[in-house]
Amino acid sequence: MGIWLQTGLVDFWRAMGGTSRRIGIKPRLWALLERWWDTTNTFHMAWGEITITPFAFSMITGLPFSERNVTFDSELTWRSAAARDLLGPVVDLLDDDTHSSVTVITDAIRGVGVSAEQRVRLFLLALVSRVVAPRRNSRVHIRFLSVLQDLRAVSSYNWGGLAYSHLLYEMKWASRTAPESEPSIAALWSVLEIWIYEHFPTLAPDRTGDAAYPYAASWIGAVRMRVPLAASRRAWRVLPADEVVWRPFANAPVPASAARAHFLPGRRVFLPGVYRHMWYLGERVSLQHSSGNRFVPKDPPESMLAPDEELARLYVNARGDVVCRSWRDFVQRKGSYDDFLRRLAPPVRFVLPEEEVDPEDIPYADRVIRYENSDGE
């Protein structure tokens, strides 16, 4: 038990360990994802933009953010000598060089001839591969083993940044998929659901536990109401700004594991992931981290939708000041936010053909979808 406590992931497991690896998108989440723009990584609402900030993500999940990014060794295989030393005899049961069935890993954890440290490593491999940053299959990947060699150092890695970046990518993928194709999110999808509850209390069920870090634990067992897609669209369309809780954790105690995440919302941050790198643009959601007036944000980076190779090269070549700068460097002090809001193009998505939908339930259906930069282009 002492070894497991040293990993720093106990809070995360307590709050999010029951999250399924992949889930079809529920109507209320789908209606919200229709308003997600991957050109800014924000939801575009009638009253402005809002998003899941790194701080909110950490407070909900219990995952720490840090400057020590999670890396992986693409050359490592299950049959290597290093894998045998770190994981034990389970490597003899595998028929693949890099992936393993979660059933084999689970049986190995419960088996004999495995030390306590090896059991913890096996469990962490499954946890990272299946919950923190899952792929669209049920396999456990050996590539994460390189950061699990020293279990005392596991807590120092940027697990929050990894999971957050992966969730943003999955939301991007889902928001560009038509409902009839049954899109799903292979990430910590329940973070989005709990984020709704914390920021929009009128849409939340009754909380089942004490409101404390990690906040996902306080919603375990909450009775969710199923709301049809048309009604969900209507709810997001008419939701007034005065019902938004912009900073639900502003007065909450900040644990040491969330200290780095508490610093990030007021920045423009480039967050590396194992599979994808993603931008968080703090200048677009100033009400979520700073009090005062809203400012017109400058244009998002051109690399928002760059290919994976270009993003990786950008991160490697950039210095810290380039990928983590204050939000105040990216706003126009003299611009009118009302004028900016009028040129924000809310997303319009597909409507299920069998639904009878009021045209008013589709936000701005009569408008042309476009993004206009500050130069009018």
CA distance 166 to 102: 20
Query: What is the residue extent of each domain of the chain?
Result: 2-68+159-361, 81-156
Which is higher by pLDDT, 344 or 42? 42
What was the pLDDT predicted at 319? 57
Residue matched to tokens 């991007």: 172
DSSP letter assigned to residue 288: G
The structure tokens listed for 182 are 């049954």
Residue of higher predicted confidence among 52 and 315: 52
CA distance 22 to 70: 22
Structure tokens at 141: 């990947």
Q: Which of 37-51, 151-165, 286-300, 331-345 has the lowest mean pLDDT?
A: 331-345
What is the structure's pLDDT at 136?
72
Confidence check: pLDDT of 361 > 80: no
Cα gap 213→326, rounded to integer Å: 26
Q: CA nearest 163: which of 139, 130, 136, 196?
A: 130
What average pLDDT does range 243-247 have in this prediction? 96
Among 365, 369, 361, residue whose Cα is nearest residue 345: 369
Question: What is the reported pLDDT for 353?
Answer: 46
Instruction: Convert the pLDDT of each residue in 187-214 to its tens digit.
Output: 888 899 999 999 999 999 999 999 999 9
Checking DSSP bridges between strand 184-185 and strand 42-45, what pairing results, if any?
unpaired
Please tell me the distance from the alpha carbon of residue 132 to that of residue 15, in angstroms, as a whole number.
12
Q: Is the pLDDT assigned to residue 323 strictly greater than 80? A: no
DSSP single-letter state for residue 131 = I
Helix, strand, or coil (residue 301): coil
- Cα(167)–Cα(290) distance, integer angstroms: 24
For residue 285, what pLDDT is reported? Answer: 95
What pLDDT, on a 0 to 100 scale, did the predictor assign at position 188?
87
- Partnered with residue 326 across adjacent β-strands are 267
Task: Using the structure block, give the residue that is written with the tokens 């209320």.
Answer: 28
Whether residue 364 is predicted with pLDDT greater than 50 in this model: the reply is no
Q: What's the confidence (pLDDT) of residue 60?
A: 96
- Output the pTM of the full model: 0.86
Backbone angles phi, psi at 109, to 5 degrees: -60, -35
Q: What is the DSSP secondary structure assignment for residue 26, as one 8-state letter?
A: P
With 0-12 CB in 10 A as exposed, 13-18 as middle and 19+ as buried, what is 182?
exposed
Question: What pLDDT is stored for residue 374 in this prediction?
Answer: 57
